[in-house]
Structure 1
Amino acid sequence: MDRAELLRSVTAVQDGLTTRAQALRAGFSRHDIDHLVAVGQWRPLARAVYLTDGRHGEPAARRCRIRAAVLSLGPEAHVVFGTAAELHGIAGLSCGDEVHVALPGRAAKLTRVSDPAIVLHQLEHAPSAVRPVNGIAATTPLWTVAEIILREQRYPAVAVLDSALNRGMLTAECLSMIRALIRGRRGAVAARGYLAEADGRAQSPLETRTRLRCVDGRVPPDVLQLEVRDGDGHLLGIGDLGWRGPRVLAEADGRNAHGTPAAAFADRRRQNRLVNAGWTVLRFTWADTLQPDYIPWTVRQALAMTRSR
């Protein structure tokens, strides 16, 4: 096997990336590496980490940049917090361009990071708390969520818990384990409250935020993902939040799920079926959740109107 084939066997499982050390072991010289970078065939993504098969001028994929950050910091490096949640597919946080990476004590103290997008944390994790996700070392879902809820405010923390439960990354039993993990740590008192509010029926952070606004406004829904059927048992629609007595539903309209013309037409048909069956249907967006009073006020008005009929 020549050096090019040997290196391809490495980059094939690393999103097209190679470290300088890996390239040297494959048979490339330092001069070869510097030349490939100089002519633009290889692109540096982190310290001594190169993208070998990216198109010139195109931004590297997010997972590729996360992997590059971990590779640049050595074998003990692993992603944590929002970056680990991102790899696991747990929603609720926005990391932007930042990549959160942890190293144990001495290694973290001796490491200097020049890339402002890489946020280095001095953290110790047992081997059982770390596992590969597509070949990138990350804290397990259990540890990831436990550490996030110690750091985040209530709305994003509950959204992360809801997402992890909804996607099967955590079970109800895991919540008890998290309580034990966070006991005595800074932020644990607030985090225990977030655990009590978690509900895996929420299918998006927007649904979580809408529910919490209702709870805070003292009009909590009595059910989530309410199935509404006609007299023959045919499904008319499913409401994200429901108040069964007054027959009020609330929908959380996220851009991904409701942003296409086909989705909009389907929403209208479903809403017509529900309204004809005697239900009031409210629709809320992310911007609505940024106003503390708007959602509960709107729900309260709808509840009052249905009760006065």
Structure 2
Amino acid sequence: MNVAAAVAELGGIAPRKQLLRAVTRGELERAVASGEVTRASRGRYALPTDDRTRRLAHELTGTAVLISAASHWGWARMWEPRRPQICVPRGRNISRDDRAQVDLRWRTLAPGDIVDSWVTSRERTLLDCAALLPFAEALAITDSALRDRSVHPSQLSNRLTDVPRLHRSRTRRVFAQASPLAANPFESALRAVALGVPGLDVRCQVRIDDDRGWVGRVDLADESLRIALEADSMEYHGERDAMDRDVARYTRLTCAGWLVLRFTWSQVMTRPAWVAEMLAKAVAQRAHLRSTA
């Protein structure tokens, strides 16, 4: 896996420690030198999308919105937009050539919702994402913002009235389900699928013990049904000791009565319907076991 692909899988921005599980130090250094990725801050690396978005926003006298704005604020996301997402005031005439360069929206934003004359504020960005993006994508970005402590949940709740009534219920749902405990967009996306499965009630980063004590934390768990979900991340090199610990952990979970379901990034991101089907089967299995116990 090349460095840019690794950063993309981790949400477009990633800590060095996480990246080095998928690529070597030399590959990371070469990618930075070539401009394939950039150092967003100390120990954090990002895809180089911000400069182009800023340039196009200024050229069009517009404002970066949605995922493009989330990228600027350093929030992890499921996908990168194919083109920078820019909005301009209603009634603005934009040439066909300029339209081809961006994902253009027509909106009139309040001055207080625009920062540095080219990007929506943190709060406005999250309101827009929750209102307009698919649930999983909006959840991943909001999780990241809470994880970074960029905003406080009360700030978002206080601005729900700024969202059109048509989108208010979906916005409220995103904010109600968002959690700073999700490690990355992969886990957020898996949780989004799980939240849509009837009878499944999962929480993030659940501690599990057995008769010998602490086993570990699982990414998601329904403690009532004893179903654990794990988002299996990519690894560059596996160490024997780490593999032994991992296998022992899952063996202990199974012996303690847990049904452990593991999903890959590709399955969650590109086959969510299949993931939902597997989760529904797991719920039905546990319900059947309860009824026959």
TM-score range, shorter-chain basis? Answer: 0.5 to 0.7
1:124 aligns with 2:100: no
SS in 2 for 1:290: helix
Q: CA deviation at 1:146?
A: 0.9
Provide the residue aligned with 1:63 in structure 2. 50
User: Aligned letter for 2:57?
Assistant: V
| Deviation for aligned residue 1:225 | 0.8
Relative to structure 1, the CA distance from residue 288 to residue 101 in structure 2 (aligned partners, 3 Å threshold; closer, same or farther) is closer
Match of 2:237 in 1: 261
What secondary structure is seen at the aligned counterpart in 2 of 1:188?
helix
Tell me the amino acid that sits aligned with residue 178 of structure 2.
A
| Aligned counterpart for 1:179 among listed residues 157, 160, 172 | 160
TM-score normalised by length of structure 1? 0.64
Task: State the match for 1:208 in structure 2.
Answer: 188
Do the aligned partners of 1:109 and 1:122 also contact (CA within 8 Å) in 2? no
Residue 142 (structure 2) pairs with residue 161 (structure 1)? yes
Find the residue that maps to 2:159 and give its secondary structure: helix
- Tell me how far 1:145 sits from its aligned partner: 1.5
User: Which of 1 and 2 has greater Rg?
Assistant: 1
Larger deviation, residues 298-307 vs 80-89: 298-307
- Structure 2: how far apart are the matches of 1:260 and 1:306? 41
Does residue 119 of structure 2 align to residue 138 of structure 1? yes
Provide the rounded CA distance (Å) in 2 between the counterparts of 1:259 and 1:289: 22
**1:284-303 to 2 correspondences below 5 Å:** 284-285=263-264, 286=268, 287=270, 289-291=272-274, 292-302=276-286
Query: Which one of 242, 249, 271 corresponds to residue 270 of structure 1?
Result: 249
Can you list the C-alpha shifts for 1:252-304, whole angstroms capped at 9, x where unaligned? Answer: 22xxx334333883643532443455533221231552324222212442565
Amino acid at match of 2:186: L
After TM superposition, give the deviation of residue 251 of structure 1 in Å: 0.8
Give unmatched runs, 5+ long, in structure 2. Answer: 1-32, 36-46
Q: Does 1:244 find its partner at 2:223?
A: yes
Shift of 1:249: 1.5
Q: CA deviation at 1:61?
A: 3.6
Tell me the number of residue pairs that the alignment of Structure 1 and Structure 2 aligns: 244
Residue aligning to 1:221: 201
Q: Which residue of 1 aligns with 2:21?
A: none
Question: Per-residue deviation at 1:240?
Answer: 1.4
- In structure 2, the partner of 1:190 is 170
AA matched with 2:285: Q
Moved more, 112-121 or 144-153: 112-121
Identity %: 23
User: Which residues of 2 match residues 36-115 of structure 1 at below 5 A?
Assistant: 61-73=48-60, 76-105=61-90, 108-109=92-93, 113-114=97-98
- Structure-2 change in CA distance of 1:119 and 1:86 (3 Å): same
For 2:104, what is the secondary structure of its paired residue?
A: strand
Whole-Å separation in 2 of the counterparts to 1:55 and 1:243: 45
Q: Deviations over 1:100-140 (max 9, x none)?
A: 1223346x3266643623123333333332225xxx83212
- Separation (CA, whole Å) in 2 of partners of 1:258 and 1:268: 16
**Aligned-partner residue type, residue 194 of structure 1:** V
